């Protein structure tokens, strides 16, 4: 039950996060550039691809398919996001998060942004552990004949 | 049990490759197809980032602007909020915070029109305020508007005259 609720929650977070970025590639590319972490040549490709990866992750988590892959990517992504935010906070770069909106109205990223993302990471890690260690093995699934929805 | 773990891990790897591959294909495909798609490799040089609507660079070099300043041929416009302007700014600079540009513009219009060259600046390599303000001033009919990228920092580092603050 908790597993299901958290899976739906994290899926919804990814879907919501992808929405504005998919719609505004140019603004999101600017947000990625402003992080000043990726080399210039990689900025656009990352900005083009990331929202769609988030969208696919959101769909997997909400529907409950490909959970081993989806939870691992989600945990990896959240780790990278937190690292990038924390790195820029520490070096004092005033950046916009670009997490849920490409509009600057979201305000500059701060410690709360990192804590919020840390919360998402905790959920993601928990789901990953559940999928890999406490849930039914893939071999069980074929026997049960049901989808991975739990 | 160990066998199961291996199977699960292999399954996860396959799914990761599939998801990343699918995201790549979908995103690049949609980007090509949509009208507001962006180039796969962008030009993030200062000249490209700080350009006008026609794509011409607005960037002015420190050397050039320093010459203009010494001849008294330039009006600096500080695009940052008033609080930051008060803490220190380029000597003789006018404050026109971009966020409230409409309100400040009327008061500054005469000085702006009389200026030979207008150079906007803010602080930070990626700060957009100076660029946004330059475009706004051009829209308002000002000519010869340029941007000094990362202006407040490079001006101070060059030891050029400032005022305000301590």
Q: Which helix (H) or strand (E) holds B74?
A: strand B74-78
Question: Do B155 and B93 form a contact (C-beta atoms < 8 A)?
Answer: no
Name the residue among A84, A57, A85 with its Cα closest to residue A73: A57
Q: Which helix (H) or strand (E) holds B95?
A: strand B94-95
Considering chain B, tell me which residue range(s) the CATH 3.40.250.10 domain(s) occupy: 46-163
pTM, two decimal places: 0.78
pLDDT attached to residue A148 = 47
Is residue B122 among the annotated active site residues? yes
- B3-28: pLDDT as tens digits: 577 889 999 999 999 999 999 999 99
d(CA B4, CA A141): 12
Which residues span the domain enclosing A80? 1-135
Superfamily holding B46-163: Rhodanese-like domain (3.40.250.10)
- B147-163: pLDDT as tens digits: 999 989 999 999 999 99
Residues B124, B125, B127, B128, CA torsion sign: positive
pLDDT attached to residue A139 = 47
d(CA A116, CA A114): 5
Q: Does A138 touch chain B (CB under 8 A)?
A: yes
State how many domains chain A has.
Answer: 1
pLDDT attached to residue B140 = 87
With respect to residue A141, please indicate whether it lies within any of the assigned structural domains.
no
Q: Which of B12, B26, B125 is closest, CB to CB, to A72?
A: B12
Name the residue among A85, A135, A88 with its Cα closest to residue A113: A85
Bridging pattern class, strands B145-147 and B117-121: parallel
- A112-132: pLDDT as tens digits: 889 999 999 999 999 999 999
What is the predicted ipTM?
Answer: 0.84
With respect to residue A17, please indicate whether it lies within any of the assigned structural domains.
yes
With respect to residue A82, please indicate whether it lies within any of the assigned structural domains.
yes
**What is the token pair recorded at B10?**
């292999």
Q: Which of A48, A73, A137 is closest, CB to CB, to B31?
A: A48
Instruction: Select the residue from B14, B44, B47, B149 to test the A interface by mutation, using most A Cβ atoms within 10 A.
Output: B44
With respect to residue A147, please indicate whether it lies within any of the assigned structural domains.
no
Chain A residues in contact with B15 by the CB 8 A cut-off are: 66, 68-70
With respect to residue A48, please indicate whether it lies within any of the assigned structural domains.
yes
Most confident of A52-61, B69-78, B90-99, B115-124: A52-61
With respect to residue A140, please indicate whether it lies within any of the assigned structural domains.
no
With respect to residue A98, please indicate whether it lies within any of the assigned structural domains.
yes
Angle, in degrees to the nearest 10, between helices A25-34 and A2-23: 100
Q: Which of B12, B27, B126 is closest, CB to CB, to A69?
A: B12
At residue B54, does pLDDT exceed 90? no
Chain B residues in contact with A36 by the CB 8 A cut-off are: 125-126
- A31-67: pLDDT as tens digits: 999 888 999 999 999 999 999 999 999 999 999 999 9
pLDDT attached to residue B147 = 93
Q: Does B38 touch chain A (CB under 8 A)?
A: yes
Contact A43 B44 (CB under 8 A): yes
Which entry of B74, B122, B134, B147 is annotated as an active-site residue?
Answer: B122
**Helix, strand or coil, per DSSP, at residue B61:** coil
Chain B residues in contact with A73 by the CB 8 A cut-off are: 16, 19-20
pLDDT attached to residue A93 = 73
Question: Do B94 and B76 form a contact (C-beta atoms < 8 A)?
Answer: yes
């Amino acid at each position: 039950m908790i597993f299901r609720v958290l899976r739906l929650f994290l899926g919804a977070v990814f879907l919501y996060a992808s929405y504005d970025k998919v719609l505004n590639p140019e603004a999101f590319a600017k947000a990625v550039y402003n992080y000043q972490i990726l080399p210039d040549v990689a900025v656009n490709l990352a900005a083009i691809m990331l929202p769609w990866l988030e969208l696919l992750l959101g769909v997997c988590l909400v529907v409950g398919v490909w959970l081993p892959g989806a939870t691992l990517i989600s945990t990896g992504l959240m780790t990278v996001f937190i690292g990038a935010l924390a790195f820029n906070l520490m070096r004092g770069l005033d950046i916009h998060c670009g997490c849920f909106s490409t509009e600057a109205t979201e305000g500059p990223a701060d410690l709360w942004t990192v804590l919020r993302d840390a919360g998402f990471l905790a959920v993601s890690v928990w789901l990953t552990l559940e999928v890999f260690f406490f849930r039914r093995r893939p071999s069980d699934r074929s026997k049960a004949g049901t989808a991975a929805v739990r | 049990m160990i066998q199961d773990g291996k199977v699960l891990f292999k399954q996860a790897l396959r799914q990761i490759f599939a998801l990343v591959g699918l995201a790549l294909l979908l995103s690049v495909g949609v980007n090509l197809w949509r009208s507001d798609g962006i180039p796969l490799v962008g030009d993030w040089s200062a000249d490209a980032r700080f350009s006008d609507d026609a794509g011409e660079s607005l960037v002015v070099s420190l050397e050039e602007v320093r010459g203009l300043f010494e001849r008294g041929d330039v009006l600096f416009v500080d695009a940052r909020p008033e609080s930051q302007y008060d803490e220190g700014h380029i000597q003789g600079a006018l404050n026109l915070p971009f966020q409230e540009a409409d309100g400040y513009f009327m008061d500054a219009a005469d000085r702006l029109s009389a200026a030979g060259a207008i150079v906007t600046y803010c602080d930070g390599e990626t700060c957009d305020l100076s660029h946004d303000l330059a475009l706004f001033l051009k829209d308002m009919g000002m000519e010869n508007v340029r941007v000094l990228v990362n202006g407040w920092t490079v001006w101070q580092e060059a030891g050029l005259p400032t005022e305000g603050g301590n």
